[in-house]
Structure 1
Amino acid sequence: MTPSARLAAAIDLLAAMEAAPRKPADAVANSFFRERRYMGGGDRRAISGLVWDVMRAWRRLGWWLEQKGQVASARLRAGARLLFDGFSLAEVEEMFEQGRFAAGALTRGELSILTPLAGKTLDNPEMPRAVRLELPDWLLPHLEATFGDKLEDELAAMSTPAPLDLRVNILRGPRKEAQRSLACEGLHAEPTPLSPWGLRLPARLPVTTSVAFRDGLVEIQDEGSQLVAAISGVEPQMRVLDYCAGAGGKTLAMAMMMENKGHIVACDVSAPRLEGAVKRLRRAGVHNVERHLLVPGDKWAKRRAGSFDRVLVDAPCSGTGTWRRNPDARFRTTEQDLTELLEKQAAIMDRAAALVRAGGRMVYATCSLLRAENMDQVAAFLARHPDFKLVPSDSPDMPEALRNESSISLTPLRDGTDGFFAAVMERAAPEPEAGIE
């Protein structure tokens, strides 16, 4: 594809994302590229690269364009992004050329808006702080409460493209074997610094076509997500519940930790998500997992009350920790959404707690950076359930720097992972009866 054709496709994709504001951008992009299978891998990466660069600068681009009283269209955002990336005005005009598959020439009005931006830098001291930090206004105080004077550094790290992390499935082979297998196909991965099973590639590369992936030796999973599984401390022969399992990423990691021994139940309220786990479980060689769909009026939980050694609650959340991969998520969550999520998280924790046996543990986790969804939720839960307490994780799979912690908060700046939170809580064992030792 020519540069103009790539630009035209990027503008079309941006317009498709704007037309579906509540749909995740990566889902829109997946549909977009499925309908255009003629595009090569290099074209898709170039188009996605420009689109994601625009999304990472969404509010700042809008601020510049709105100075002229203009609606920030997909064409103007793309053109402005190119100018701020160092392209000259002449180069940008050339990319907006006429032609069947081209972006179409810039109009006189568009040129009058873009021309003053040539040679300028994207950031401007007159921008409101929330605009400069690429946040909705309502979210700024929540993140200030979390990070204080480190906020700008943390958000700068959140604005950089994420690497591609893999989890080696040691049921299939050791990390060095996975590294060698990937290298044979030109995928040179390095061990992650924290997870004992992690490998990292510097960018998104076609891992899913590799032999290591097809044979179940590696799974795509951020290092922070791997550590959420690790802090659970699951062991062979345990009874384990993954209460919000989704497509089973952490289920797979825990099954590996359990050496395929014992029993895991993967629950979710979404049948398609649970169904999506089947292929992954089979590819990984996991056979100690049972799937269960949670439906209203289900008696399943009542029959299994107090029966699990470990319960993982990977709760639905704002997803603020995933902004490196999903920059559009900054603007898809509203203040009302957060209020509803906080209520849902508390209700899920209460239901899951009933399934933990006496002496067993519940791990509460989110991919959020917000204190309201993390330690504040844990504190409120402990106040409602005095039979639970925070306890240090005794998992040998945790890195030395995080070992014996009762909770972890991971960030891209400090840890090089996506943003994750996890806390370990233990249910009190019953008091021995009087006179019995």
Structure 2
Amino acid sequence: MTPAARAAAAIDILADILAGEAAEARLIRWARASRFAGSGDRAAVRDLVFDTLRRRRSRAALGGGDNARALVIGALRDDGIDPDTLFTSDRHAPAALSPAEREAGRAPSPAEAADLPDWIAARLAADLAGDFPAIAQALRDRAPVWLRANLARGTAAEARQALAAEAILTEPDPRCPGALRVTQGARRIHGSAAWLGGLVELQDLSPQMACAALDVGPGTTVLDYCAGGGGKALALAARGARVTAWDAAPARMRDLPARAQRAGVRVTLAPARPTGRFDLVVTDVPCSGSGTWRRTPDAKWRLGEDDLARLAALQAAILDEAAARVRPGGTLAYMTCSLLRAENEDQIAAFLARQGRFALDGMRRMTPLAESDGFFAAKLVALNDA
């Protein structure tokens, strides 16, 4: 594909995303329908779409509009490329610029340059204080790729060596055993022997750090109450914990048995809502995902204030349900991939006010400035059965 053809494809894809289709699903649909596109073409179109969604407001200003065509015009200008060189009306290229399009576009305002909806920017500015400008800028860029060395299969050093043999280079992080930041060859991970053999799993640094901070070992009983794809369940099982996974939407766990087999660990899928008590209950609750908007940038443009209120109510309900599954002396771990206080510190304060048998054993907010994804983790200890 020529650069012009890639721009045309991105316009078509963005139009459907702006109409409501999820970005990842739309890109997969395009890739399956575009057998002529090589791996380099697919990567380039994907990058153009995701980078534009991350910077939608600023690129709308540069392109003179918030429609798909204007956004791609703005993306080219943002990258120092004259849109006239690609918008030529040639075969597979977008139609040539109109005089109005050529004259439209301006430098983004400070609010537009933050690339956030105004109401979210106001909340984050209040919640993050002096860190807000730098975090907002970080959310405009691509997220790094992190791997977790699966200790059930080998050491981090062995994982690095195996990856390097296939030109996938990584750097360890001294704050978290097993965390490997990919510096080269990220697109080769899924075809690598290290991946296929279960020696590594994709997992961001922030949730890796949150899991590493939990006291588990051989025989520890763990309930992953909102398991999703099972990344945390696998990480805890690799340390010898006896993990039961449950999710209100069981389809989210459909790949977990195969992933556990590949990783060489055992995770039990609960056939129904779990009963009994556990040493540790992990609740990685549904949230705004504001800490991961570099990875799912279309989500930040869909979130509304009513959605945030609904999520907060759901989070509180999950905390109360999960609390009943913690044995006396056990731990309830609350996690979100959110940067918003309403989903994090405020939830913990409200829970402690409702639940007399729990005490706070520490909480931590992680951000792209010091860790990787925005993430929040709190540990709550069950004191008694009162």
Band of TM-score, shorter chain: over 0.9
- Pairing of 1:46-85 with structure 2 (within 5 A): 46-65=44-63, 71-85=65-79
| Equivalent residue number for residue 428 of structure 1 | 383
Q: CA deviation at 1:106?
A: 2.3
Name the SS for the 1:167 alignment partner: strand
Deviates more, 1:272-281 or 1:104-113: 104-113
Give the whole-Å Cα distance in 2 for the aligned partners of 1:379 and 1:112. Answer: 53
| Equivalent residue number for residue 360 of structure 1 | 330
Name the SS for the 1:110 alignment partner: helix
Name the SS for the 2:169 alignment partner: coil
Q: CA deviation at 1:16?
A: 2.0
Q: CA deviation at 1:150?
A: 2.0
Name the SS for the 1:425 alignment partner: strand
Q: Is the 8 A contact 1:4 1:95 kept in 2?
A: yes
Note the alpha carbon deviations across 1:350-402, whole angstroms, 9 max, x for none.
000000001111000000001110011001001101110012xxxxxxxxxxx
Q: CA deviation at 1:408?
A: 1.4
Q: CA deviation at 1:430?
A: 6.0
Aligned length: 385
Measured on the aligned residues, the alpha-carbon RMSD in Å equals 1.9
Q: CA deviation at 1:132?
A: 2.8
Give the whole-Å Cα distance in 2 for the aligned partners of 1:331 and 1:47. Answer: 20
Residues 199 and 37 of structure 1: is their aligned pair in 2 closer, same or farther, counting only changes over 3 Å?
farther
Name the SS for the 1:326 alignment partner: coil
Find 2:130's aligned residue among 149, 155, 162.
149
AA matched with 1:209: G
Name the SS for the 2:365 alignment partner: strand
Q: Is the 8 A contact 1:158 1:413 kept in 2?
A: no
AA matched with 1:381: F
Q: CA deviation at 1:146?
A: 1.4
Find 2:29's aligned residue among 28, 31, 46.
31
Name the SS for the 1:189 alignment partner: strand
| Equivalent residue number for residue 307 of structure 2 | 337
Specify every segment of 5 or more residues in structure 2 that has no aligned partner in the other structure, as ranges.
none
Q: CA deviation at 1:224?
A: 0.6
AA matched with 1:426: V
Q: Is the 8 A contact 1:145 1:371 kept in 2?
A: no
Note the alpha carbon deviations across 1:383-432, whole angstroms, 9 max, x for none.
101110012xxxxxxxxxxxxxx1111100122x101100000101469x
AA matched with 2:30: F
| Equivalent residue number for residue 238 of structure 2 | 256
Note the alpha carbon deviations across 1:95-150, whole angstroms, 9 max, x for none.
11233322232234333325xx5xxxx44xxx263x33112122123212211122
Q: CA deviation at 1:52?
A: 2.0
Give the whole-Å Cα distance in 2 for the aligned partners of 1:180 and 1:140. Answer: 42
Q: CA deviation at 1:293?
A: 5.1
Q: CA deviation at 1:175?
A: 0.7
| Equivalent residue number for residue 190 of structure 2 | 208
Note the alpha carbon deviations across 1:267-298, whole angstroms, 9 max, x for none.
001222111212211111112x111255xxxx
Q: Is the 8 A contact 1:195 1:227 kept in 2?
A: yes
Q: Who wins on radius of gyration, i.e. which is larger?
A: 1
Name the SS for the 2:370 alignment partner: helix
1:93 aligns with 2:48: no
1:291 aligns with 2:283: no
Q: Is the 8 A contact 2:357 2:385 kept in 1?
A: no
Residues 225 and 27 of structure 1: is their aligned pair in 2 closer, same or farther, counting only changes over 3 Å?
farther
Residues 194 and 324 of structure 1: is their aligned pair in 2 closer, same or farther, counting only changes over 3 Å?
farther
AA matched with 2:227: A
Residues 36 and 292 of structure 1: is their aligned pair in 2 closer, same or farther, counting only changes over 3 Å?
farther
| Equivalent residue number for residue 133 of structure 1 | 114
Give the whole-Å Cα distance in 2 for the aligned partners of 1:146 and 1:253. Answer: 30
1:235 aligns with 2:217: yes
Percentage of matched positions with identical amino acids: 42
Q: CA deviation at 1:36?
A: 2.0
Give the whole-Å Cα distance in 2 for the aligned partners of 1:293 and 1:160. Answer: 40
Specify every segment of 5 or more residues in structure 1 that has no aligned partner in the other structure, as ranges.
295-299, 392-405, 432-437
1:411 aligns with 2:367: yes
Give the whole-Å Cα distance in 2 for the aligned partners of 1:37 and 1:368. Answer: 37
Give the whole-Å Cα distance in 2 for the aligned partners of 1:430 and 1:147. Answer: 36
| Equivalent residue number for residue 9 of structure 1 | 9
Q: Is the 8 A contact 1:356 1:362 kept in 2?
A: yes
TM-score by length of 1: 0.84
Q: CA deviation at 1:57?
A: 1.8
| Equivalent residue number for residue 103 of structure 1 | 94
AA matched with 2:2: T
1:351 aligns with 2:345: no
Residues 105 and 193 of structure 1: is their aligned pair in 2 closer, same or farther, counting only changes over 3 Å?
farther
Q: CA deviation at 1:205?
A: 2.0
Note the alpha carbon deviations across 1:216-248, whole angstroms, 9 max, x for none.
000111011112222222211111100000010
Q: CA deviation at 1:3?
A: 1.2
Name the SS for the 2:379 alignment partner: strand
AA matched with 1:9: A
Find 1:246's aligned residue among 198, 223, 228.
228
Note the alpha carbon deviations across 1:317-363, whole angstroms, 9 max, x for none.
00000022122222111100000000000000000000000111100
Q: Is the 8 A contact 2:147 2:202 kept in 1?
A: yes
TM-score by length of 2: 0.94
Q: Is the 8 A contact 1:269 1:293 kept in 2?
A: no
Residues 81 and 65 of structure 1: is their aligned pair in 2 closer, same or farther, counting only changes over 3 Å?
closer
AA matched with 1:75: R
Q: Is the 8 A contact 1:194 1:223 kept in 2?
A: no
AA matched with 2:280: R
Give the whole-Å Cα distance in 1 for the aligned partners of 2:3 and 2:244. Answer: 50
Name the SS for the 2:286 alignment partner: coil
Q: CA deviation at 1:40?
A: 1.5
| Equivalent residue number for residue 379 of structure 1 | 349
Name the SS for the 1:251 alignment partner: helix
